[in-house]
Chain A
């Protein structure tokens, strides 16, 4: 496509994105360009814009697959790289890409990046304060001592005053929580601690009760098992291990507009499909950049678009996008063919032979590139009868 032909040029003028035109005006003003110079620049812009557009019939999908697949083969060899020693270990490399494309419900290492509002992101101490609020605390951490008494089958919890105040809870508060969470036990206050009595006289069960009490969540946000304040671009933010976007966004100190998680399914539920699309792109780009693989952003965009196209997340597996292909043959050629063939015959499906795979199977020209254009002809009634070709 060249910008020389008038119709294309006119079309472009109307269709150049406003952002680009605004940019042009801005630069023209900055550099004090004359009208003719500006026009020259506009022409160049149009040319570049036209050149960067995809040609009709270009096999974008295959090119995307190849552009990611080829460097991916080199990536398998160095998978176990982590972000850094100081920060939390987050899976990266090929396993992470597979995780994103397969839309794993729960990533291997769920992690959030929590941005904070103005005063809180200025110092490490301020950020740490918020982090402590967010991190889930189990009772075992607050207790100075958890002891069992076999005589009356009870567990006695003695609290550490300093730990309590650090997490803004009191013994009374703990008492309420325990009362709420433990059913079928007698919970009493005693000597500044709490006694939990078991009704059954069984030592094994008592031991299990002790372990259960140790792991009881008493403060902070569920799922978030660890937090780490980090400095990025001059501001302090919190990286977490574990993810709970909804609850974290409700905290006042948190900047809910920028806070993200690497759990795509969660983002889709909390923020919607557009946000999920962006997270897919960001997560894949993050891995690729970390590995030093120069893959064009638009390839990743295409993948994310396909995954989010229907408004629901679809994985790149036989359960996701492949299951929704319209062609029976295309579906059957990718994993579990029998199921698709039998279902198709039960319903009486018709394959229109419209995409690539089917046409390769029957050996027809694939509707891509040179195989795409057809001929539109209004046929007159044939004068002679159609000849029948014979197989020689």
Chain B
């Protein structure tokens, strides 16, 4: 007897487990049982598990019956003529969906000619073993698998046109590429998913060192290409606020805040606000500027405080442009939120040109940042006048073995010359041999190399340089979002150490390992200076060793231990002072024993 479980709970037992499972499957194929049902016979546990639950991941496979695929040529021709649809194939039992459990019982052949008598299913296409993004990598079967992982990762970070109604949307921190192009070399999945919303541009790539400006995965870019609009993008960031109501009838106020409001900054920060306290579209703003003027009632009112004058001062809770960001107000929306409150959204857009440090990638995990933007007259050129848009370092290739990268460049070249798109679908792409032949017939060298001349000297390079057309994506990591430095700035209240993070204008932490380097170099005094950011002077009693009091009114220090003792100013880090106080909070009494330093 074999136990049978439906969605994890025991519903009965059967004698012939294999027969039962087979009858369920055949019933499903004939349409007697719902096609959403999956059976899994676990031989080792001797249990049968039926699953109908939602949210299982399932994938379609062609059914194999008696070593022959159930999907016939007749089906295919009917599909083409429109007589049949995909759902009809499922109904006919030619295609069925397996979940992760039932897959354990299946034996799937990759291609029709590999079917043996043991096979139960046939893969629709070998490309189905890959995900959407991975299958969009052209010539992916020429790359190491680890590079495929990276290639699909960078595609997710690429900017493009994420939705066609973007003008009506307000998404947080969005990048839009200005002139996205369909890739010259593409897989057929790209055609299905990506053509309408593609996310890159076709560029001419030369593979050669460029004065070391493209070493270590950097790219050198031709300034002429950027000047003509290559990879330009716009960055959108919406700012949102709500006019809230508080218990006790208090309410937020959208207005130009008065100067007596708590937290009021410089007058110039509010200069763009209209009478209604909201900024107008198409105004140029930068970090700190107020977009929506708002004041809030004081919080946490106690019984007595409500009557004091000081407590009735309202707080400035205006919405400001983030520190370090700039742009133009794109649109302003005033609506109602779900709770019926007034909701205000201000969208700020920033126009961005590629600059040094911005990140780009091909579809093979060959990502890199711009190392130098070269004046067009200095870039190498070929006799026919072809000037590369980007120069890629040949050192990125040997170790990573991304042969697909090179074949894409070759295919792109053919595509650009013939004006057609090249099929780079994994496993059945247009092969490199064919591409070479085509290049040769058009009067180019078949290996894709060309005679190039140095742009500065006009001299011909001794070696032939590989030049091709590739699809390059602009990734969302840009210097404009990350560049930050500070000398002085805000500190954290508790520790008196500089704040952390770009948004808070923070400092760069000199961490534990960096500290070790100072020690290793023996630069003790330099290190002390570097750690002086939370320096404090405490008055320490010579007798009792605890912190004394400095009376700045009388300019006199004394200790609470009462007797006439000497109290000395001692320099220490504020963190240490805090540490001593924490010890005291634990009922441990640390004492500082003072000694002359020398």
Interface, chain A (partner B; CB < 8 A):
57-59, 62-63, 65-66, 341-342, 345, 350, 356, 360-372, 374-375, 377, 388-391
Contacts and interface: CB of A to CB of B under 8 A. Distances in A.
Nearest to A350: B593
Contacts of A388: 557, 568-569
20 contacts: A57-B522, A59-B520, A59-B521, A341-B588, A345-B583, A360-B527, A361-B575, A361-B579, A362-B572, A363-B573, A366-B528, A368-B519, A370-B522, A370-B524, A370-B525, A370-B526, A372-B522, A375-B598, A390-B569, A391-B550
A375 B596 CA distance: 12
Nearest to A356: B519
Contacts of B588: 341-342, 345
B304 interface: no
Contact of A66 (B516, B534, B535): B516
Given A368-B519, A375-B598, 8 more contacts: A66-B520, A341-B586, A361-B575, A363-B571, A363-B572, A365-B524, A365-B528, A368-B524
B569 A371 contact: no
B522 A363 contact: no
Contact of A372 (B520, B524, B573, B593): B524
A320 to B, nearest CB: 20
B531 to A, nearest CB: 5
Among B517, B519, B534: residue with most chain A CB under 10 A:
B519
A129 B572 CA distance: 71
A66 B520 CA distance: 9
Given A341-B588, A363-B576, A391 B525 contact: no
Interface in B531-560: 531-532, 534-535, 537, 539, 550, 555, 557
Interface in B427-486: none
Contacts of A374: 598
Contact of B524 (A66, A367, A389, A391): A367
B522 A361 contact: no
Contacts of A350: 593
Contacts of B526: 370
B523 A369 contact: yes
Contacts of B598: 374-375, 377
Contacts of A371: 522, 524-525, 528
A389 B570 CA distance: 10
Contacts of A370: 522-526
A390 B555 contact: yes
Given A62-B519, A341-B583, A390-B569, A361 B576 contact: yes
A362 B572 CA distance: 5
B515 interface: yes
Interface residues of B, number: 36
Contacts of B557: 388
Contact of B519 (A366, A377, A391): A366
Contacts of A375: 598
Nearest to B583: A341
Interface string B330-367: 00000000000000000000000000000000000000
Contacts of A366: 519, 524, 527-528
Among A367, A368, A372, A377: residue with most chain B CB under 10 A:
A368
Nearest to A392: B537
Interface in B563-598: 568-569, 571-573, 575-576, 579, 583, 586, 588-589, 593, 598
A258 to B, nearest CB: 38
Nearest to B592: A362
A389 B597 CA distance: 15
A66 B598 CA distance: 32
Contacts of A377: 598
A362 B516 contact: no
Contacts of B575: 361
A364 B528 contact: yes
A336 to B, nearest CB: 15
Contacts of B521: 59, 369
A361 B573 contact: yes
A364 B535 CA distance: 10
B537 A391 contact: yes
Contacts of A390: 555, 569
A48 to B, nearest CB: 22
A14 to B, nearest CB: 28
Contacts of A360: 515, 527, 531
A62 B520 contact: yes
Contacts of A62: 516, 519-520
A341 B582 CA distance: 11
Contacts of A341: 583, 586, 588
A389 B550 CA distance: 12
Contacts of A342: 586, 588
Nearest to A67: B520
A216 B568 CA distance: 76
A153 to B, nearest CB: 36
A389 B539 CA distance: 11
Contacts of B528: 363-366, 371
B525 A365 contact: yes
A62 B519 CA distance: 7
A150 B170 CA distance: 83
A355 B457 CA distance: 61
Contacts of A362: 572-573, 576
Contacts of B534: 363
Nearest to A391: B537
A203 to B, nearest CB: 28
A389 B567 CA distance: 11
Among B522, B526, B532, B586: residue with most chain A CB under 10 A:
B522
Interface string B223-258: 000000000000000000000000000000000000
Nearest to B589: A345
Leading 4 A-B pairs by shortest Cβ distance: A369-B522, A371-B524, A363-B573, A345-B588
